[in-house]
């Protein structure tokens, strides 16, 4: 049944000469071409935005990683240089002489002037050195490359660290005498006989660090900085400043050093600009490298694409999208009924029967659909019958594949598949398990005297006793002939012996009462994991050996592997 709106739309299409399928397809093709094009433009913008973000993350990460490596190398080289100077003859031997001569010689002696000249010559050759000082073990400045004596600012535990041979690197600080940021590096000075004489302390400026930061700048607004753990700005590629400044950063400066790629964060820098930056910690130092670039520069191109894309899409998608929707309905609606019916069939409802109307291709499709559903209904009934039969047969086969046909116990093959898994589980969880090998005493004589049918009945009876006496978690199997094997998971050896003794007593009591003439008894060998073996073969062999020990001891008894007849296990009369 056609709805009123379908009549109205058909008349409108006739006015625009779009009543024929051919013209509808042409118009739809036009719209189907325009809409994906606009969509791809939008998708392109999104991917361009994502690409820019990933690219800036990669560039900032590379810049910070490069700075960390170079600053680590800078620190290593400075410590190495200071170690070389501290171990030189001019420093160690001169300081030793001064120390032996006392404080007067340290103030007025020739050795002190010689040491100062040496420190001055070293200072002039290295641009990173602001001042070199030699301190004795009490922390007194013996000689300095500067004309004045400044406070070295060593940490409280510098003597302990120096005596241990460790280099001493101070926190970055603003040096009032130099009017700039500096860091102090000190290494111990030792005499030839190993005595601790003092330290050589060097004030380092950040000239080389600034050059390193400047070498990794990104774009026009990129900037790299070194900050302390409390956010204090140590050095930056921007304008030099001798004042202490704390930055408000969105990063956790106390986070541990990680090799993972740093995370981008958006924040406002001290100049009030919105920037995108990242942080990377430095190993061996409480410093971090922060690199950022203005957000406006990063997304300038994508912002232009976004404005253009939104302008085009806003007009075209609104007009063309609505038109395509209306035209799509006139084409697709006749097929919706088939789609709905197919969805019901896919959900398992085979009672679908669609009405057939008209003389179009849809009529033929509907007739074919109805015929297909009718065939599916017939096939489902037949399939259900066949599946029911298969399930029953599979259950029978499953039982036959793992069970012994005479006793109803598990067969030997299934038992040997279960035992390795139980051994592995016991080993993994540090649990015990036991295996019992069981043999019927004089079963051949019983068969000869009573007949094979009686022997089979006896095996069935013993299998029933095992099923009734053991736990559901235990495994009892017919090992072959008149031999049985039992697995007792999570059971200690003493407990397994008790279980075996109860089985032996019950078999003797019940089977002998039924046969009335012949004594039916069992020999049982018990082996425990891990005491008597760590593998399937070792445990079974131990249980089998205990079984034969029981036979040698006179039969009708339980023997634990490695032991004789257990106390209290007397042979039944």
Query: Count of alpha carbons within 13 Å of 442, Cβ hemisphere only?
Result: 12
pLDDT band at 423 (very low <50, low <70, confident <90, very high): very high
Most distant CA atoms of the chain, gap in Å: 124
Superfamily of 87-205 according to CATH: PAS domain (3.30.450.20)
Q: What angle do CA 517, 520, 523 make, to 5 degrees?
A: 160
pLDDT in tens, 487-515: 999 999 999 999 999 999 998 888 765 55
Comparing 289 with 262, which gets the higher pLDDT?
289
Torsion (CA) 393, 396, 397, 400 in degrees, nearest 10 = -160
Rounded-to-integer distance, Cα 179 and Cα 176, Å: 5
CA torsion through residues 58, 63, 68, 70, sign: positive
pLDDT higher at 19 or 74:
74
- Please enumerate in sequence order all residues whose Cβ is within 8 A of that of 345, keeping only pairs 6 or more positions apart, or say none: 352, 373, 376
Average pLDDT over residues 389-414: 80
Mean pLDDT of the chain: 80
Residue-level pLDDT at 341? 78
What residue spans define the domains of the chain? Answer: 87-205, 412-560
Residue 569 has pLDDT above 50, yes or no: no
Express each pLDDT in 232-271 by its tens digit. 888 888 765 555 677 778 877 776 666 556 788 888 888 7
| Across 529-539, average pLDDT | 91
pLDDT one-digit tens code per residue, 56-70: 888 888 888 888 898
Residue of higher predicted confidence among 355 and 492: 492
Q: Looking at the whole model, is its pTM more than 0.95?
A: no
86 close to 162: Cβ distance less than 8 angstroms: no
Classified as helix, coil or strand, 288 is strand
CA distance 184 to 167: 11
CA-to-CA dists, residue 504 to 249, 522, 561, angstroms: 80, 6, 17
CA atoms 132, 137, 141, 144: torsion sign: negative
pLDDT for 420 beyond 90: yes
pLDDT for res 12: 74
412-560 has which CATH code? 3.30.70.270
482 labelled catalytic: yes
Positive/negative CA dihedral, 486, 491, 496, 500:
negative
Which one of the listed residues 96, 269, 482, 544 is annotated catalytic?
482
- Does position 84 have pLDDT exceeding 70, yes or no? yes
For residue 74, give the nearest of 304, 287, 355, 359 by alpha carbon.
Answer: 287
Four-point Cα dihedral 323, 327, 328, 330, nearest 10: 150
Most confident residue range from 14-18, 216-220, 257-261, 552-556: 552-556
Q: How far is CA 69 from the centre of its chain?
A: 28
Residues sharing a CB contact under 8 Å with residue 290, sequence separation 6 or more, in sequence order: 64, 224, 225, 226, 227, 247, 249, 251, 277, 278, 279
Least confident of 126-140, 148-162, 173-187, 239-253: 239-253
Better-scored residue on pLDDT, 22 or 416 = 416
């Amino acid at each position: 049944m056609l709805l009123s709106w379908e009549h109205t739309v058909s008349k409108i299409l006739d006015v625009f000469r779009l009543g024929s399928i051919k013209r509808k397809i042409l118009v739809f093709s036009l719209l189907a071409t325009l809409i994906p094009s606009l969509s791809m433009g939008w998708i392109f913008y999104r991917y361009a935005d994502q690409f820019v973000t990933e690219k800036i993350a990669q560039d900032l990460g590379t810049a910070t990683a490069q700075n960390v490596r170079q600053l680590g190398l800078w620190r290593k080289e400075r410590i190495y240089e200071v170690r070389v100077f501290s171990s030189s003859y001019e420093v160690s031997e001169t300081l030793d002489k001064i120390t032996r001569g006392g404080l007067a010689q340290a103030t007025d002696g020739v050795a002190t002037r010689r040491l100062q000249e040496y420190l001055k010559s070293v200072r002039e050759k290295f641009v990173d050195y602001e001042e070199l000082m030699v301190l004795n073990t009490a922390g007194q400045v013996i000689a300095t490359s500067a004309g004045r004596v400044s406070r070295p600012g060593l940490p409280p535990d510098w003597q302990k660290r120096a005596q241990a041979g460790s280099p001493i690197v101070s926190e970055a600080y603003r040096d009032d005498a130099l009017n700039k940021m500096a860091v102090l590096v000190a290494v111990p000075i030792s005499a030839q006989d190993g005595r601790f004489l003092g330290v050589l302390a060097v004030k380092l400026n950040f000239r080389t660090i600034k050059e390193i930061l400047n070498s990794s700048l990104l774009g026009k607004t990129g900037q790299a900085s070194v900050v302390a753990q409390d956010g204090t700005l140590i050095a930056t590629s921007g304008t030099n400043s001798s004042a202490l400044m704390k930055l408000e950063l969105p990063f956790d400066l106390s986070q541990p050093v990680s090799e993972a790629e740093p995370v981008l964060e958006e924040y406002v820098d001290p100049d009030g600009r919105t920037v995108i930056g990242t942080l990377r910690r430095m190993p061996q130092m409480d410093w971090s490298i922060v690199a950022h670039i203005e957000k406006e520069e990063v997304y300038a191109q994508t912002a232009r694409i976004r404005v253009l894309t939104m302008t085009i899409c806003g007009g075209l998608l609104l007009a063309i999208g609505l038109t395509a929707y209306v035209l799509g309905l006139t084409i697709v609606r006749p097929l919706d009924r088939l789609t709905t019916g197919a969805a019901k069939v896919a959900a398992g409802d085979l009672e679908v029967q669609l009405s057939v109307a008209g003389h179009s291709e849809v009529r033929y499709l509907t007739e074919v659909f109805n015929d297909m559903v009718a065939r599916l209904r017939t096939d489902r009934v037949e399939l259900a019958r066949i599946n029911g039969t298969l399930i029953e047969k599979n259950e029978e086969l499953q039982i036959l594949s793992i069970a012994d046909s005479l006793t109803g116990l598990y067969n030997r093959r299934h038992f040997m598949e279960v035992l390795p898994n139980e051994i592995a589980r016991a080993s993994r969880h540090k649990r015990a398990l036991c295996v019992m090998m069981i043999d019927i005493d004089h079963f051949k004589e019983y068969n000869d005297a009573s007949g094979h049918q009686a022997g089979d009945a006896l095996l069935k009876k013993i299998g029933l006793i095992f099923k009734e006496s053991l736990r559901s978690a235990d495994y009892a199997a017919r090992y072959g002939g008149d031999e049985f094997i039992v697995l007792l998971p999570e059971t200690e050896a003493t407990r397994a012996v008790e279980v075996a003794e109860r089985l032996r007593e019950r078999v003797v009591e019940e089977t002998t009462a039924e046969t009335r003439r012949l004594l039916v008894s069992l020999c049982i060998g018990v082996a425990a994991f891990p005491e008597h073996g760590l593998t399937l073969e070792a445990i079974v062999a131990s249980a089998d050996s205990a079984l034969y020990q029981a036979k040698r001891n006179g039969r009708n008894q339980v023997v634990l592997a490695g032991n004789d007849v257990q106390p209290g296990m007397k042979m039944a009369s």
